[in-house]
Amino acid sequence: MSHQFHATVLREYDIRGIIGETLGTADAYAIGRGFATLLRQAGGSKVAVGYDGRLSSPELEEAVVAGLNASGCDAVRIGMGPTPMLYYAEASAEDVHGGIQITGSHNPANYNGFKMVFQGRPFFGADIQELGRIAAAGAWLDGNGTHERREVLTAYVARLTQGLAGIDRAQLADLRIGWDAGNGAAGPALELLVKQLPGEHHLLFTQVDGNFPNHHPDPTEEKNLADLRKLVAEKSLDFGVAFDGDGDRIGAIDGQGRVIWGDQLLMIYAEDLLKLEPGAAIIADVKASRALFDHVERLGGRPTMWKTGHSLIKSKMKEISAPLAGEMSGHVFFAHQYYGFDDALYAAVRLIAASARLGKSVTELRGAMPALVNTPELRFQVDESRKFAVIEEVKVRLAAAGADVNGIDGVRVSTPDGWWLLRASNTQDVLVARAESENHAGCDRLLAEIDAQLAASGLERGPQAGH
């Protein structure tokens, strides 16, 4: 017996596809078998399995467990919850050696997929391709694994509250926060969490619903923060927090309704953390603002720019022992007093803690940030066979021109008044561009530089330009 995956589903950081078209239960079964085979070969035998609130998730979970069992691994079924709850189940239990979360993350409702952790490390890239090779060859180990159900939610939420360790809760008694779970998998954990936090809490859309009837659960798109912004304004709350569909990415707004983007949140976390761990390395991806790297340096930290992608960031954190990392996309990773994985619920608790320790409101912290002009992430279609080649062509031209280039993930070009980025997505047939300057004129000039490079490679950015 063997299995062939659809060409589009085995991606760089995870496995993802459209239910009934490119992904189904046969794929889930094959993933379980392949993962169990690799884990047993590495000396492991037990896998935690969780799933998000999508309509297709329960049947995929059944199939993954069947696959794990058929290749001789035992499954610990933790039920429905956010992806970081699965990471917690794997990290905190000595008898568990790997984890699989069934989740479509922030994709449309008809998508689903799998995020995996293997003996405490991210399972991505070549690991995922290996699942495909094993399946195509039918080279699975055989066995008879068992499965058990384990309640993890209560212990997980209790662990989240430890993010306030050392904070005088009395000083948080007047705090008033808005929360938007977006009908995603974080809802039940959030309801439990706020009962254990000081202050007053107002919740939106905690009912898990895989149809996402209120808005799409992606807090990095400003339009999805409209309900939260309205709540914060109507009730004059201190700030608001939103989560994506599986609770591993955070979005936030301050008391004035201003968005606090991923790199701006990291500026707040860094200021707090560098008081606790002076001189620490702090990692951000290549899409982050120069203001963040300057801020970390000014505070005596070691700013480290790294490749975009949660698995890549987690690996780099372990390599250089960084206590904190983050991405523009809202993934925030705390290894300081936590496990080093991306957990938006924990990041929300640490935002409360940072504000308390720094003695400033979230609105004050946001207001103190430099007012730079930047584009959103500009994405445009490029044929899969061309996207990496284009980046290489741009690198050659920039080197010949003597430009100041960081080539760690695409090209990030620094100029006296800002920077611009062009990189190939690892998960889609698109190029991603971004630019930031001190004013609109500077931003326009940087966008023109991007356009000139694309034109030299026979491409154009298309109609979605602007900022």
More confident: 171 or 273? 273
- pLDDT reported for residue 384: 83
User: Catalytic residue among 56, 105, 289, 355, which?
Assistant: 105
Is residue 428 predicted with pLDDT exceeding 70?
A: yes
* Model pLDDT for residues 213-247, shown as the tens digit of each residue: 999 999 999 999 999 999 999 999 999 999 999 99
Is residue 465 predicted with pLDDT exceeding 80?
A: no
- pLDDT reported for residue 435: 97
AA letter at 268: I
Nearest Cα neighbor of 32 from 99, 94, 97 is 99
- pLDDT reported for residue 65: 98
Mean pLDDT of the chain: 95
Mean pLDDT to the nearest integer, 306-319:
93
* Model pLDDT for residues 256-269, shown as the tens digit of each residue: 999 999 999 999 99
425 among known catalytic residues: no
DSSP H/E element including 356 = helix 344-358
Q: How confident is the model at residue 462 (pLDDT cuts 50, 70, 90)?
A: low
What are the structural domains, with CATH classification, of the chain?
15-150 (3.40.120.10), 156-367 (3.40.120.10), 373-456 (3.30.310.50)
Instruction: Specify the pTM.
Output: 0.95
Distance, in Å, from the CA atom of 296 to the CA atom of 269, rounded to the nearest integer, reads: 10
Please report, in angstroms and rounded to a whole number, the separation of the first and last CA atoms in the chain. 52
270: number of CA atoms within 13 Å, CB side?
29
